[in-house]
């Protein structure tokens, strides 16, 4: 089954063609991140306008890269939500139009299923799995029992982990997106003792996170002369909490696998610590290019979710939840 995936939930415009949920025939990502550098965060209106400019060229390129024609496709998968409404609409309306014109079924995909199924691109994790999704909009822990059966067990009470990186990066005067810039700055301090900032809720027995206090603490205690060290301190505080809660979920639910995905899962320090600390269970973290927003994960998820829907019934839903 050959699926064209389309992803446009935030500031990436992406299209990919995936065969049988495994073989990536093409994956094209255009980002409007540069547009948002000056403002230090995403401007939804600007992101949506950029989506409109990029969507057709990106879809065309995904077909060309895969050396396929529309007639070769079996279905079109598209992110229906959650995300920014203006951005989502561009991908959803493009997918509906193509579905009508090319006479191909459409498979709407929740963006979070996409992040989860990114782990299926190179592997087949055994279930049940503890899943940590950490991105710009989400920090959630789920227990995935079967291919379409998932239970939420905890999540952030305020800012998402990616948001914490992005907001503290602004305080440190580092460019958007904050995750990669903090990670780069932190590089030379990886062996330092890093305990300056609080690890919110690290000792609570639930699976919740709270990152907004970190921002306040950085604002109050920032050492402007040592931005590299500050970046390392921030990163370590976020990573410590994420790793600890994941370890605790493994202890409680005794899963066969742990899946960590979403933009923040691209973080090198997080990957290192998880690999060191998650023991006696298989750990799956997608390749970096499939952790951040992309359309290969959407086409892959569509293959497993198998939810073909008439185009008339597909619509963008910015508040869509997974469970």
Binding interface with ligand KG4 (CB under 6 A) = 10, 135-137, 162, 165-166, 177-180, 183, 262-264, 266-267, 292-293
Residues 6+ apart with CB under 8 A from 38: none
- Please, what is the end-to-end C-alpha distance for the chain in angstroms? 27
CA 195, 264, 35 angle in degrees (round to 5)? 115
Report, in Å, the least distance between residue 101 CB and ligand KG4: 29
Outline where the chain has alpha helix (H): 33-36, 44-66, 85-102, 111-117, 161-171, 178-186, 212-221, 227-253, 268-277, 288-291, 296-305
Answer whether 48's CB lies under 8 Å from 40's CB.
no
Tokens of 131: 């899943």
* Residue nearer to ligand KG4 on the CB measure, 125 or 180: 180
Report, in Å, the least distance between residue 35 CB and ligand KG4: 15
Q: 99 is in the binding site of which of ligand KG4, Zn ion, none (Cβ under 5 to 8 A by kind)?
A: none
Report, in Å, the least distance between residue 182 CB and ligand KG4: 7
- Sheet containing 75-81: give its strands across: 23-31, 12-19, 2-7, 75-81, 106-110
Q: 300 is in the binding site of which of ligand KG4, Zn ion, none (Cβ under 5 to 8 A by kind)?
A: none
* Residue nearer to ligand KG4 on the CB measure, 207 or 290: 290
Report, in Å, the least distance between residue 190 CB and ligand KG4: 13
Residues 6+ apart with CB under 8 A from 184: none
Q: 87 is in the binding site of which of Zn ion, ligand KG4, none (Cβ under 5 to 8 A by kind)?
A: none
Which residue among 135, 139, 168, 257 contacts Zn ion (CB under 5 A)? 135
- The helix/strand/coil state of 174 is coil
* Residue nearer to Zn ion on the CB measure, 135 or 267: 135
- The span of 128-136, 213-221, 226-234, 243-251 binding Zn ion (CB under 5 A) equals 128-136
Report, in Å, the least distance between residue 268 CB and ligand KG4: 7
Which residue among 293, 294, 300, 303 contacts Zn ion (CB under 5 A)? 293
Burial class (CB in 10 A: 0-12, 13-18, 19+), 223: exposed
* Residue nearer to ligand KG4 on the CB measure, 2 or 171: 171
With CB under 5 A as the rule, give the number of residues binding Zn ion. 2
- The span of 31-39, 76-84, 202-210, 287-295 binding Zn ion (CB under 5 A) equals 287-295
Rg of the chain over all Cα atoms, to the nearest angstrom? 19
Binding site for Zn ion (CB under 5 A): 135, 293
């Amino acid at each position: 089954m050959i699926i064209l995936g389309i992803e446009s939930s935030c500031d990436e415009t992406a299209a990919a063609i995936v065969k049988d949920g495994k073989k990536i025939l093409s994956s094209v990502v255009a980002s409007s991140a540069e547009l948002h550098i000056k403002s230090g965060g995403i401007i939804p209106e600007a992101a949506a306008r950029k989506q409109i400019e990029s969507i057709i060229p990106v879809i065309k390129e995904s077909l060309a890269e895969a050396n396929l024609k529309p007639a070769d496709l079996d279905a079109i998968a598209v992110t229906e939500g959650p995300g920014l409404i203006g951005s989502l609409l561009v991908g959803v309306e493009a997918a509906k139009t193509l579905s009508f014109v090319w006479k191909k079924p459409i498979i709407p995909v929740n963006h979070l299923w996409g992040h989860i199924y990114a782990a299926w691109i190179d592997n087949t994790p055994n279930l049940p799995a503890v899943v940590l999704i950490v991105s710009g909009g989400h920090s959630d822990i789920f227990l995935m029992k079967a291919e379409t059966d998932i239970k939420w067990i905890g999540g952030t009470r305020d800012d998402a982990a990616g948001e914490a990186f992005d907001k503290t990066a602004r305080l440190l005067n580092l460019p958007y997106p904050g995750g990669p810039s903090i990670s780069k700055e932190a590089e030379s301090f990886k062996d330092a003792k890093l305990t300056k900032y609080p690890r919110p809720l690290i000792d609570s027995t639930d699976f919740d996170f709270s990152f907004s206090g970190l921002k306040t603490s950085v604002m109050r205690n920032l050492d402007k002369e040592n931005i590299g060290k500050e970046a390392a301190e921030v990163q370590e505080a976020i990573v410590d909490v994420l790793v600890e809660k994941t370890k605790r979920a493994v202890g409680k639910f005794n899963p066969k696998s742990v899946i960590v995905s979403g933009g923040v899962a691209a973080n090198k320090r997080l990957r290192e610590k998880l690999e060191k600390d998650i023991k006696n269970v298989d750990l799956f973290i997608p390749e970096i290019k499939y952790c951040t927003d992309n359309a290969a994960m959407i086409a892959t998820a569509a293959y497993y979710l198998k939810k073909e829907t008439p185009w008339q019934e597909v619509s963008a839903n910015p508040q869509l939840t997974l469970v």
